[in-house]
Structure 1
Amino acid sequence: MKQIAVLHLNRPETAETVTFMGQSLQIRHLNCANDLDKARELITQLDGQVDAIALHGMPAQLELGPAKRKHAQGAGLTAVAQQTPVVDGRIIRAGLERWGIILADRAQPGIFSRKRVLMTPGINHNGMSRALERHGCTIRYADPFIYFHLPKVPGIGFRQTRNQAAPFTLDRLKDVSYETLYPQVNGRSPEPNQAPFDWADVIAGDIGTIRHFAPETLKRKTIVVENASEDDLADLQARGVDIVVTLMPALDDAAGLGQWSAATVEAALTALRPDPAAPLNEDTYLDMMADLEWTPAIRTLQPENADINRFAFVIHPLSVRFIHGHRAFRWTKYLPDSIVEAVAAYIPPLSLSRITGGQSPTTGQRIEGHLISLGATPRQMMRHGERFTYDRLHKAAEMAERKGARIMGLGAFTSVVGDAGITVAHEADIAITSGNSLTVAATLEAAKQAVIKMGATDLTKGKVMIIGATGSIGSVCSRLLAQAIYDVVLVSIEPERLIDLKRTIQEETPGAKVAIATRPDELIGDCDLIVTATSAFGQRIVDITKCKPGAVICDVARPPDISPAEAALRPDVLVIESGEVLIPGDIDFGYDIGLPPKTAYACLAETALLAMDGRFEDYTLGRNISVERVKEIYRLFKKHDFQIADLRSFDEAVTDEQFAQKRKLAAELKADPAHFAQLQAETGAKLAKIPVQAKGVKSRRKNSGGMVAAIVAVIGGIAILLWNGRRR
């Protein structure tokens, strides 16, 4: 049986026998009592008696980035023995750290993506830091403040890059004791520097150093270390740490946790070399490392956070009043709206809240989401052009990825701009969906319920109009509605695409009656159901005064195409929003999204649904929504027990009494054509006095005055808020 000895600065002496790479291996752990003379004495005694000697926490060389320095006390330890190899883990550590990061990411995709990483310390962990950088991580180093006691001021002492700090750091540490380099895990820094640990998502380095210098609270942090014991995990769990990753292989094939240091693993590989005469270099170890069948141990310490699928969803202010309503920007209501709206468009993506409590009653899968907001209104997105919004969505995707999301949904106008998500998906490292597949499915289900509640008995005998029929949502709505109602009117400002869509419907649904038009006015009076799905601004989408008595208008657009003032002209006509969705579980959005509790817009619900089903893939992108995708998302909708929420009209639930009143009014108007004609004339005159608009945006008039001072005030206020947010 091969034998190795591991020398520790301060650890009780124990012995263990493990099975590693198919062979039995005896490991003796010996205590040097923080005395390097005793270490030399032990090495002399063990020379020729064991197959390898490991120096745990006693490196012969210090490395930080490209800089290397021999350690004054330990440089000679590896040369004491004449027969037995003495190793400190330096040869294999970097390679195994890099390989371990890759394997951990494969086991739990996205675990390191875009994270903020605090190396504690960075010394002798070049492999770890470089591997994390390749996953888009932002790396900072704790070495300056933990070793040189820099002032405990937020942001000071840990911003240096590896290359900048390395020579300064190593020149001053090559002469310090190992006790200073590797503090005891049972001792804690009396005044931990909270700021850098708060900043970090991931704390990586040595378990003893982390436990010594980190604060009491490490809630939702991920710890990445060479090795850790069960006692280490218990301590980190008590501090609120979420996940611990150990990057070194377990020497016991039956063990799950990597409890052995790089020095111990290197000694084991040295002892088990097929050729005892093979040189102790990286090439010798590489072949052996390639034969290892292992995955770094990933322990979730907080049971409530285990097995949660994460997503993100992007929203934005639909109008300037939403900016005024945000608690951080209420002061903007005292400034001109045009200035506030223009400046807010440049605000970087903001994290608004965590969405918690979603759970599938079918599979038990839990989900967690993150609401992220852009600052631009739809009008500003249109004014700045596609690239402006793409860049901000790319930053939002990076933020989502750092928070652990593996899919991001595009809400409201972000799903309309440009190519409807295709470019965003191409540039992002996580999955993207516009949410439009479930928006279509929920819209059709809500429309069906509304028409029935308005008194229809046979939907196949009705007539439906789709305004914006050639758009991404409108086209697939048109195709599916034609299969259910057979008599459809397609309205769009793109006549060539209308012709193409009509032919598609006639091929898919033989016998369907399809009319096409560039304006709805002349045909709208015959329609029982009108679906609006446009991206138009500053114009009137629907002349509600021309609708037939008891018609249902399903307004899919966000912001909506029809205003409350327009709808009020015809109390017999029902105007509903596209189908909102109830997400199963005790869902809490952590933010007022403008809907009742537990209720989500369908596009948000699609993102949550895909996360719940583990479908981390680009799902709904572009303007050609697949009918098959709509049917598939509806199948998942049913599988996980999502529900259509109560029908709503202008943010208010429509009651049974209101349905009854509308049915009564519609019946009276149908029975008295003369009265209906008079009503249309009167309401037409009133409509002419209502400003022409769509999505809350009126026809644009020039705003006089530059208001330079106001612009400066807005920019200054936003800059202060963002700076304070970063410091917090």
Structure 2
Amino acid sequence: MAKRVVSVSLGASRRDSVVQVELLGEEVVLERRGTDGDFQKALRLIAELDGKVDAIGLGGIDLYLWAGGRRYTIRDAKRLKEAARKTPVVDGSGLKHTLERRAVAQLAGLIDWKSTKVLLPSAVDRFGLAEALHEAGAKVLYGDFIFALGLPIPLYSLSFLQKLAFVLLPVLTQLPFQLLYPTGEKQEKRAVDWRSRYYTWADLVAGDWHYIKRHMPDEMRGKMVLTNTTTEEDVAFLRERGVKRLITTTPRLNGRSFGTNVMEALLVALAGRELGEEEYLRYIDLLGLRPQVLDLQEEA
């Protein structure tokens, strides 16, 4: 009997999909179900799935934000996790800290990080990726103030960002999540505004796809995007803007790459329990998970 993994997302339901894969000798059904930003609907759906599926992923919301080894729990996401009593609920942060960090090293043969300018719209969402880019020698613009808080304050120092995060995250994680991240239909709306000029500076834009897409200008000729959770429609969107290369940290299945929350829930379902960092790395090796590169203009 196939294992079943469901991602319950606060994102748009029109991005829903189902795919069946065979991994490590197991059949697994991966499903994404969006609730169009309806928090109560997400709570009910998780409670309904509890005990009936092997693992649940939280999509469109983070359970944890990280900074320098400290973990901060988002209050709204904790309510969603606690709606399940039997089934493990994960948000993808375990994979972000392992898979995405490792991806930077694996891409060193393709990208000269020391001569690459990287825009990371939200570092606290992907602190492992931020640290890996810093260690690789990339010049990184950490856009947390710009893109999450709407303040024109670009940060280029990871240590300074970390100090700010220690002060701000205990407060920000208690706010309604919709104030920090686009949910439902807001994920589909673009706002090409003053924030878009930071894309012009960058050679590569990395991190959460919805953060990246929301303020992306129409002209992205020759640039690279490092993300996940892209559909065929998203690939066409990037190609139209002249993006040279799309790199996804999770594998493409039936034309789309699934989010880290889905892939983390998949590993938990295969293991039959929640995992630690070393165990995630072991499963990443067993499955041969590596960044996937699409040369968009060559394919066109």
Same-fold call, TM > 0.5?
Answer: yes
Query: What is the rounded CA distance, in whole Å, between the counterparts of 1:169 and 1:133 in structure 2?
Result: 21
Query: What is the rounded CA distance, in whole Å, between the counterparts of 1:52 and 1:215 in structure 2?
Result: 37
Query: What is the rounded CA distance, in whole Å, between the counterparts of 1:64 and 1:233 in structure 2?
Result: 31
Of 127, 133, 154, the residue aligned with 1:157 is 154
Q: Which residue of 1 aligns with 2:26?
A: 23
Q: CA deviation at 1:284?
A: 3.2
Q: Which residue of 2 aligns with 1:368?
A: none
Of 263, 276, 279, the residue aligned with 2:261 is 263
Contact 1:67 1:170 in 2 (8 A): no
Mapped pair 1:137 → 2:138: yes
Contact 1:145 1:158 in 2 (8 A): no
**Which stretch shifts more, 43-52 or 142-151?**
142-151
Matches within 5 A, 1:68-467: 68-106=71-109, 108=110, 110-151=111-152, 156-159=153-156, 161=158, 162-171=161-170, 173-174=172-173, 175-178=175-178, 180-182=180-182, 184-250=186-252, 252=253, 259-273=257-271, 276=272, 278-303=273-298
C-alpha spacing 1:142/1:198, structure 2 compared with 1 (3 Å) = same
Alpha-carbon displacement from aligned partner over 1:379-434 (angstroms, at most 9, x marks no partner): xxxxxxxxxxxxxxxxxxxxxxxxxxxxxxxxxxxxxxxxxxxxxxxxxxxxxxxx
Structure 2 stretches lacking a partner, 5+ long: none
Q: CA deviation at 1:67?
A: 4.8
Q: CA deviation at 1:172?
A: 5.2
Contact 2:192 2:217 in 1 (8 A): no
Q: CA deviation at 1:271?
A: 0.9
Alpha-carbon displacement from aligned partner over 1:565-624 (angstroms, at most 9, x marks no partner): xxxxxxxxxxxxxxxxxxxxxxxxxxxxxxxxxxxxxxxxxxxxxxxxxxxxxxxxxxxx
Mapped pair 1:54 → 2:57: yes
Q: CA deviation at 1:146?
A: 1.4
Contact 1:192 1:215 in 2 (8 A): no
Contact 1:3 1:51 in 2 (8 A): yes
Matches within 5 A, 1:38-49: 38-49=41-52
Paired residue secondary structure (1:227) = coil
Contact 2:123 2:130 in 1 (8 A): yes
Alpha-carbon displacement from aligned partner over 1:180-212 (angstroms, at most 9, x marks no partner): 414544211142424322221111111111110
CA RMSD for the aligned pairs? Answer: 2.4
Query: What is the rounded CA distance, in whole Å, between the counterparts of 2:76 and 2:170 in structure 1?
Result: 14
Q: CA deviation at 1:138?
A: 1.1
Contact 1:6 1:30 in 2 (8 A): yes
Q: CA deviation at 1:54?
A: 0.7
Paired residue secondary structure (1:74) = helix
Contact 1:158 1:196 in 2 (8 A): no
Contact 2:9 2:59 in 1 (8 A): yes
Paired residue secondary structure (1:295) = coil
Query: What is the rounded CA distance, in whole Å, between the counterparts of 1:19 and 1:270 in structure 2?
Result: 15
Structure 1: 4+ residue segments shifted above 6 A: none
Paired residue secondary structure (1:210) = helix
Aligned length: 292
Q: CA deviation at 1:247?
A: 0.9
Q: CA deviation at 1:262?
A: 0.8
Paired residue secondary structure (1:105) = helix
Q: Which residue of 2 aligns with 1:11?
A: 13
Paired residue secondary structure (2:33) = strand
Q: Which amino acid aligns with 2:26?
A: Q
Q: Structure 2 length as normaliser, TM-score? A: 0.87
Q: Which amino acid aligns with 2:219?
A: T
Query: What is the rounded CA distance, in whole Å, between the counterparts of 2:154 and 2:171 in structure 1?
Result: 15
Query: What is the rounded CA distance, in whole Å, between the counterparts of 1:216 and 1:148 in structure 2?
Result: 23
Counting aligned pairs with the same residue, the percent is 27
Structure 1 stretches lacking a partner, 5+ long: 307-728
Paired residue secondary structure (1:130) = helix
Q: Which amino acid aligns with 1:92?
A: L
Q: CA deviation at 1:6?
A: 1.0
Alpha-carbon displacement from aligned partner over 1:206-242 (angstroms, at most 9, x marks no partner): 1111110222222221111133222112111222211
